[in-house]
Amino acid sequence: MSEENVELHRQANDAFNTRDIEAYIAFCDPEIELHSAVTGPGPAIYHRHEGVRKWHADITEAFGGDLRAEPEAYFDVGDHTISFHTLQGRGLQSGADVATPAAHLCRWRGGRIVYFQGYLQREDAFRDLGVSPDARRPIAP
The residues with which 77 forms a beta bridge, in sequence order, are 80
The dihedral built from the CA positions of residue 121, 122, 123 and 128, taken in this order, carries a sign that is: positive
**53 located within any domain:** yes
Q: What is the pLDDT of residues 30-61, one digit of tens each?
A: 999 999 998 877 779 999 999 999 999 998 88
| 8 Å CB contact between 67 and 89 | yes
**141 located within any domain:** no
* pLDDT for the residue 94: 80
* pLDDT for the residue 97: 86
Instruction: Print the domain residue range for 86.
Output: 2-128
**17 located within any domain:** yes
Structural domain total, the chain? 1
| 8 Å CB contact between 139 and 8 | no
pTM of the model: 0.92
Output helix, strand, coil percentages for the chain, rounded to the nearest 5: 35, 40, 25
**48 located within any domain:** yes
**137 located within any domain:** no
Q: What is the pLDDT of residues 92-131, one digit of tens each?
A: 778 788 899 999 999 999 999 999 999 999 999 999 999 9
- Tell me the CATH number at 21: 3.10.450.50
Distance CA 104, CA 119 (A): 6
**139 located within any domain:** no
* pLDDT for the residue 44: 92
The helix/strand/coil state of 110 is: coil
* Reported confidence tier of residue 24, pLDDT bands at 50, 70, 90: very high
**109 located within any domain:** yes
* pLDDT for the residue 1: 45
